[in-house]
Each structure stands twice: as C-alpha cells, then as structure tokens.
Structure 1
C-alpha cells in the first residue's frame, strides 16, 4: 500500500510506511514529487560498485549499499528505490531513506541540505550545524523547552526564494536525542522509539512544536566540542563562511562526483552575504545547552538591533 506524505516541501509517495512524516491531505497523482519503491538492486550493485564497497555516484544518480541493511538507488531528484537485505527491520531502512536518500534527492533537485537542526527565533530561521555528536539536537531541544519551534532536525533544506533570500523549508516533526540528553532535560525514554534496536538514541515527536512555514534563514551557528572549560562564541566571515557551509553540507562527498561543485559554490556565495554566521565552542565536561541558548538568544537579538 502506498501512502502520500509531505516533507522537505515535497509530496512523497512511499511503499514503505514513514510514520515520522506528516501524511498529505491535499494532493493528486500528478503532484507527486518523489516516489519511494521496493525493488531488487543486487545485480545493478554488482555491475556498478567496482572498488568502492559503499557508493557509486554520478550526475543525478546515487547508488549505495549498507551491509545487512539494504541497497539504495536515488535518481533524477524524484525516485528512491530500496532493496532490503535479509530480515532488516523497517526502522533501519527508514534511517537511510530519510537521511542519506533524502539528502541525495535534495541535492539532485538543487536544494542545499545542511546537516543540523533549524529553529524559528523571533520569526526567522537559525541553523545549528556541526559534526555528528556535536550536540545540535540537544541544543535545539533546549530551545523547544523554551517555546521555540523546530523546522528540521538532521537534514535542513535551504533554497533561495524569488527575491534571492535564503529560506528553510520545514522537514518533518521529529528530533533524535541521546539518552544522556533526555536525562538532562528530565525526560524519560519510556514511550519513545529507539532509532535502531539496542540504540540509546530515541525518536522524539515534536508535532506541537513544529513550524510548517517556509522561513527566512537569518543565521548559521557552527557547534564544536572543546576540552576547554569556557564557552567561546565568535563571528565567522569571508572565505571561512563558505568553508563552514561546505563542511556542513549533508553528505558533502556527493557534491564533486555528482557534478554539483559549481552549483554549490554559487549558491553558498549568494547566501553568505545575507547571513550572520558564528562558531560556538562548547565544553565537553559539562552540560551547557541552557547557557548556549541564552548566549545565542542575546547575540541574535543584539545583531537584529544593529541591523
């Protein structure tokens, strides 16, 4: 049975249940942007893979294999084919469908996928980017605790609107939080689904704290871990801004083999002149999410007053 969902500004028809996403209520068959189907890709993988054990990438075409999970084909910005391996659970397939597959779809559609969490603060969007484990979702959760709304967690879709202004399109209403973060926020994991079996990272639905509006991107904050005791917050400018956006583009190793380097440079060059960009270093020896939230809010509001 196929179901139609709305996410990343797209109408998605899927043979796989995607409970994380919002089901679409207004659509017609000619309005489907992306189709997700199950098929057998074993022979295609053997034909294309060559020396690379995981990825085969060319223009408008990404083929990858995750051992004991599945083989995935993303092409033309509108098709995802999934070939499950063995008795893999649907949770594991969804992890890659909503992550790597959607990241590839967005790139093929010339939508910039940043790796992080995006929030609405005083009517504008701010993206918190960083490497895995930097604490992006935990920091975003601290904002949600204060009543702010989430636009995306993990893959952030960024485009330029008709006026050339960078905007974020809402993804879907879910966060991923480690058990340690739940503990710090006084939450229990009971009732939440682990991302993968035996994993201590949980899927947290946030439908009541999700913004469904396309929102202007006003700032990007790179979150880094440091062994220092103090929090450091600095402005990022010039070429460093371009480097930050490239470094935190989701699955950025797709860009060159997919022939998207020029597109990525031109898009991010247009973006950096319209954004405030910061680097925020947080100590790893203590929980700082609430302090970081205060610091970001005071800085953002100060910048708005200057403008």
Structure 2
C-alpha cells in the first residue's frame, strides 16, 4: 500500500550535489536532470560516467538510483548485525532503521533502497531520505557534508555552520535577498576540486526557515508549506536565487550566539578551525559506524588548511540576519575583519 503511495512506476532523474539521481520516489525539491555533464562529485574514482547522454538519461546510467524495497529482508539483515545502524557485506553496504518509518539501505554509494514500514507516513519517509540517507551517501562517496548553508559572494562560496537554531539558513536567506545565490541549505557537500581546492557542490533550490525568520525577512504572508511535523518551519523555494554549478569554497564561519563578543567575524586558530569542520559535519555520529573516522579527520584537516575558518558572533537575542549579512559582504570585500 505504501509503495503505491510513495513510488512511481518509472524513475525520474534529478540533479543534487553534483550527482544525477534516478528515483522512483518523487523528490519535487530536487531540480530535474538537465543533461549537463556530471560535476566533480560524480567523477570520483569508480563512479565516473562520461558517456552520459545529453538527453534521455536511463536510470541505470545515473550516479545514484533510488527505489522502494520490501522491509522484511532488510530488517532481518539488521537483526543479524545487532544494530539499527550497520555496515554489511564487507563495509560496502550501510543500513539503518528509523522506527515506525522505514529501513534505508545504501549500497556501494550508488543505490538507495527505501523500505517503508507498515503505516509509515510517506512524507516522513522522504524527509529521512533527503536528510540522514543523503548525508550517509555523500560520506560513502568521499564528500564532506557540513551541517549548514552556503552562499556565493564574489564568485566564491562561504558556508555557515553551527548548532540547530543558530541562524544559518536565516543568514543565507538574508544574503540571497541582497542578490547573492544560494548553493546549499542544511547540507553543504564539499568535494576536492583540481589542485586540491575545496569545492561546494550545489544541493537543490530550497531553504528551510522558521516562522520567526520568515517574519523577520518580511515573508510573513507567503504561502509556504510546512516541513513534516514542524509546523513552524517552512520549505522556501529559491529558484531564481540558486547557483546550480560547483563553486570554490573560500571560507567557513561558525555562527555563535555570544554575550561576550560584539557582532562580527574573527579568525580561528588552525586547531579550532579543524574542530569546526569535525564538529559540524552533518550526521557526524554516523562516521564511526561507516568506518570513516580516519578519512573524516584527514579530509576535514585538508579542507580547513585551504580556507578561512572563522567565528561569526551574534547577540543572543534580536533579529540580526541583515547586519550579519552586511558583515559577511564586507569581509569578502575587505578581507578578514577583526583578526
């Protein structure tokens, strides 16, 4: 019954994080695949597919294939492993269970099987597919996903990381409102470009904003739909303000509420910069379960050594997104303020 609600008869091919994604599960947040050559993320070892046609991409040719599955064998596989989060088949396969929702299985970083449980809400199944499941997929494919938002300023990407509720998406929305383009919201996928330069792979043209943020940005009466079970958090399309191409990463700002520091930017030490990259990796609790602890440390250290990592302080109360946006724009024009 859930399969009929959740899945289509044929796959639709989308584009996200530099990957072509063929999915039988509708993913309206993602832009359709446009025939463009796969980006850096799709050209990783053993995943390159330079023969993809400009039109009529078949599901089997996509970088990632998503389909529904029967939960029974996957649940049995998890039971044998003794955990709700487990690697199997020599580490090439990762399964996890979200109770009352679905079992998700990522195989070799190339396919995702989604097995909804009886009575599961299809919308909730999709939320975890685009969230935790894609986070694990990116890690398995060698991309570092930061929990944050990224915007293009002066031809470079700046990412804003921080705890939930720090104001990352709100700051990005304020910058988009001044004419800058969004690259990613919630998950910032960082790949290694030519000569080791970190590159942000574009996610999809949508932000998630709380009601308070919408009000502060002047979107009080906009007819946005709510995110599943978060009645005060909304999905905000950013079609005209989205950057669909990979962008070199110039800096990461840790957004912090602070009583003791004025609103502004200060640079962090190399050690503290590494901490930011490690601590704010999206779904970082999955990393040891995926057997990627050493890779995670080395990758985070390499990225941090090539970019500016700083702290962006804001008052603990009040709506300061526009002031923070102006601070970031000045930073790009004038250099590292407040060092």
Task: Identify the TM-score tier after normalising by the shorter chain.
Answer: over 0.9
Match of residue 24, structure 1, among 19, 33, 49: 33
1:85-128 superposed Cα distances (whole Å, 9 cap, x missing partner) = 23333321221111111111111111111111010001000011
Matched residues in 2 for 1:112 and 1:293: separation? 25
Q: Residue in 1 aligned with 2:124? A: 92
The 10-residue stretch of structure 1 (125-134 or 18-27) with the greater mean CA deviation from structure 2:
18-27
Gap regions ≥5 residues in structure 2: 1-8, 36-52
Asked if the contact 1:45–1:63 (Cα under 8 Å) also holds between the matched residues in 2, the reply is: no
Matched residues in 1 for 2:181 and 2:148: separation? 15
Matched residues in 1 for 2:336 and 2:269: separation? 17
Q: Residue in 1 aligned with 2:85? A: 55
1:164-214 superposed Cα distances (whole Å, 9 cap, x missing partner) = 111111111000001111111111354211111462111111010000121
1:36 counterpart = 2:66? yes
Match of residue 187, structure 1, among 219, 227, 232: 219
Counting only pairs closer than 5 Å after superposition, residues 253-268 of structure 1 correspond to structure 2 as 253-268=285-300
The 10-residue stretch of structure 1 (30-39 or 134-143) with the greater mean CA deviation from structure 2:
30-39
Gap regions ≥5 residues in structure 1: none
Scaled by the length of structure 2, the TM-score of the pair is 0.84
Matched residues in 2 for 1:24 and 1:233: separation? 38
Q: CA deviation at 1:42?
A: 3.4
1:78 counterpart = 2:110? yes
The 10-residue stretch of structure 1 (164-173 or 225-234) with the greater mean CA deviation from structure 2:
225-234
Asked if the contact 2:64–2:109 (Cα under 8 Å) also holds between the matched residues in 1, the reply is: yes
- Residues 51/132 of structure 1: CA separation in 2 closer, same or farther (3 Å cut): farther
Matched residues in 2 for 1:189 and 1:68: separation? 34
- Residues 204/230 of structure 1: CA separation in 2 closer, same or farther (3 Å cut): same
Scaled by the length of structure 1, the TM-score of the pair is 0.92
Matched residues in 1 for 2:146 and 2:264: separation? 23
Q: Residue in 1 aligned with 2:75? A: 45
Counting only pairs closer than 5 Å after superposition, residues 154-303 of structure 1 correspond to structure 2 as 154-188=186-220, 190-197=222-229, 199-227=231-259, 230-231=262-263, 233-303=265-335
Q: Residue in 1 aligned with 2:40? A: none
* Aligned-CA RMSD value: 2.0
Q: CA deviation at 1:237?
A: 2.1
Matched residues in 1 for 2:267 and 2:261: separation? 20
